[in-house]
C-alpha cells in the first residue's frame, strides 16, 4: 500500500494514526477543541457539517484559518452529509461548493469525499490539483453491507484515484464486526491505496483498536466525550490501547 505523508505525519506506516473529530458549532469552540486534541491526536478531523456557518464561504474560510493557526497537526476536512450520518442536510451543489472552498483555502491537508456524491471524480480532481490527498468514504449507520458490496465500492474508490478508502458500518451482530476485520485484511492485501475500515457501536470496538493487525491505517477517537460516531473510544485511552496492541504484535513476531 502507498503511504500518504502530510506535514509531519505518514499514514500507512507503523501504528495506526489517531484522528480526533472537532464537531463544534462556533469558531471559538472549534479552536479550543483542536488545541485540546493536539495533545493526544495525530491529526484533526474538522467536521464542518457541525459548524453553524458551514454554508457561508467567508465564515467557513475564517474557521479554517483559525484552526490552522491554532494547531500544527494535519487537518482532515470533512463535511458529512445527513444521508451518511452527518449533521448537515445539504444539496449536492452545497456539498460540492463547501468542499471546493476548503480545497482552495490552502488551510487543509486532507479532504474527505463521499463516494455517493454524484461529482466525486470532479472534487477529487480539484483536490489533487491542489496537492491535497483525498479520503474517499462510505458510511452506513443502519447495517453492514454484504462483503462483495463493500469490496466492490472500495475497488471503485481506488479506480477513481482516491488516496485512502474509508468505510464505516453499523454491525447488527458480532459476526458483522468480525466480517469487517476480515474484509479489512482482504482490502489491504488487494489494494494499492490505504484502507480504513470501521465497525461502529459497542460491537465494533476491536475494529478501532486492531487496525495494525488487520491493515487499517487510521482510527477515530473522541475527546471530552464528544465523538462523531457511535463507539468512538477516548483518544488518550486509544493511544494506550494502540501501543499495547503494537507491543503484542511485536511479541508475536518470530526471532
Work out the pLDDT band at 223, boundaries 50, 70, 90.
confident
Whether 139 is catalytic:
yes
At residue 225, does pLDDT exceed 80?
no
Across residues 229-249, what is the average pLDDT? 91
Catalytic-labelled residue, pool 17, 50, 126, 139: 139
User: For residue 199, is it within any domain?
Assistant: yes
What is the C-alpha separation between 180 and 175, in angstroms, rounded?
9
User: For residue 255, is it within any domain?
Assistant: no
Please give the angle made by the CA atoms of 218, 219 and 222, to the nearest 5 degrees.
145
- What pLDDT, on the 0 to 100 scale, is given for residue 220? 96
Look up the pTM and report it: 0.94
Whether 166 is catalytic:
yes
User: For residue 6, is it within any domain?
Assistant: no
Sequence-distant (6+) residues with CB within 8 A of 42 are: 9, 17, 18, 19, 73, 74
Sequence-distant (6+) residues with CB within 8 A of 149 are: none
Domain coverage including residue 131 = 13-247
User: For residue 140, is it within any domain?
Assistant: yes
At residue 255, does pLDDT exceed 80?
no
User: For residue 8, is it within any domain?
Assistant: no
User: For residue 163, is it within any domain?
Assistant: yes
What is the C-alpha separation between 184 and 197, in angstroms, rounded?
6
What sign does the dihedral 76-177-189-145 (CA atoms) show? negative
Q: Express each pLDDT in 76-120 by its tens digit.
A: 999 999 999 999 999 999 999 999 999 999 999 999 999 999 999
User: For residue 1, is it within any domain?
Assistant: no
Contact 33, 70 (CB under 8 A): no
Beta-bridge mates of residue 165: 136, 195
Catalytic-labelled residue, pool 166, 186, 226, 246: 166
Q: Which residue has the cell 483518544?
A: 235
Rg (CA), the chain: 17
What is the C-alpha separation between 33 and 28, in angstroms, rounded?
9
Identify which of 230, 205, 185, 163 has the alpha carbon closest to the alpha carbon of residue 6: 163
User: For residue 254, is it within any domain?
Assistant: no
Contact 48, 63 (CB under 8 A): yes
Residue 89 has φ and ψ, to the nearest 5°, of -85, 80
Q: Could you tell me the CATH number of the domain that includes residue 23?
A: 3.20.20.70
The DSSP code sequence of 135-177 is: EEEEEESS----HHHHHHHHHHHHHHT-SEEEEEE--SSHHHH
Q: What strand order describes the sheet that includes 43-47?
A: 194-199, 164-169, 134-140, 110-114, 75-78, 43-47, 17-22, 218-222, 233-234
Cell of 171: 454491525
- What pLDDT, on the 0 to 100 scale, is given for residue 204? 93
Work out the pLDDT band at 138, boundaries 50, 70, 90.
very high
Q: Express each pLDDT in 182-222 by its tens digit.
A: 999 999 999 999 999 999 999 999 999 999 999 999 999 99
Strands (E), the chain: 4-6, 9-11, 17-22, 43-47, 75-78, 110-114, 134-140, 164-169, 194-199, 218-222, 233-234
**Total structural domains within the chain:** 1
- What pLDDT, on the 0 to 100 scale, is given for residue 233? 93
Amino acid at each position: 500500500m502507498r503511504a500518504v505523508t502530510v506535514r509531519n505525519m505518514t499514514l500507512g506506516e507503523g501504528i495506526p494514526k489517531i484522528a480526533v473529530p472537532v464537531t463544534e458549532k462556533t469558531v471559538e469552540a472549534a479552536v479550543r477543541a483542536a488545541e485540546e486534541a493536539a495533545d493526544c491526536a495525530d491529526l484533526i478531523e474538522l467536521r464542518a457539517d457541525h459548524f453553524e456557518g458551514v454554508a457561508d464561504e467567508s465564515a467557513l474560510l475564517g474557521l479554517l484559518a483559525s484552526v490552522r493557526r491554532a494547531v500544527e497537526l494535519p487537518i482532515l476536512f470533512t463535511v458529512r452529509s445527513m444521508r451518511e450520518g452527518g449533521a448537515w442536510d445539504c444539496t449536492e451543489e452545497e456539498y460540492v461548493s463547501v468542499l471546493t472552498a476548503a480545497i482552495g483555502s490552502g488551510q487543509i491537508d486532507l479532504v474527505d469525499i463521499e463516494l455517493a456524491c454524484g461529482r466525486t471524480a470532479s472534487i477529487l480532481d480539484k483536490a489533487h490539483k491542489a496537492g491535497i490527498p483525498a479520503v474517499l468514504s462510505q458510511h452506513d449507520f443502519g447495517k453492514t453491507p454484504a462483503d462483495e458490496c463493500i469490496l466492490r465500492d472500495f475497488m471503485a474508490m481506488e479506480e477513481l484515484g482516491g488516496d485512502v478508502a474509508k468505510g464505516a458500518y453499523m454491525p447488527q451482530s458480532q459476526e458483522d464486526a468480525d466480517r469487517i476485520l476480515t474484509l479489512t485484511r482482504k482490502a489491504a492485501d488487494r489494494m494499492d491505496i490505504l484502507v480504513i475500515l470501521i465497525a461502529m457501536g459497542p460491537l465494533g470496538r476491536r475494529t478501532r483498536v486492531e487496525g495494525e493487525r488487520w491493515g487499517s491505517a487510521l482510527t477515530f477517537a473522541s475527546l471530552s466525550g464528544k465523538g462523531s460516531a457511535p463507539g468512538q473510544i477516548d483518544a488518550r485511552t486509544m493511544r494506550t490501547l494502540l501501543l499495547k496492541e503494537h507491543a503484542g504484535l511485536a511479541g508475536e513476531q518470530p526471532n
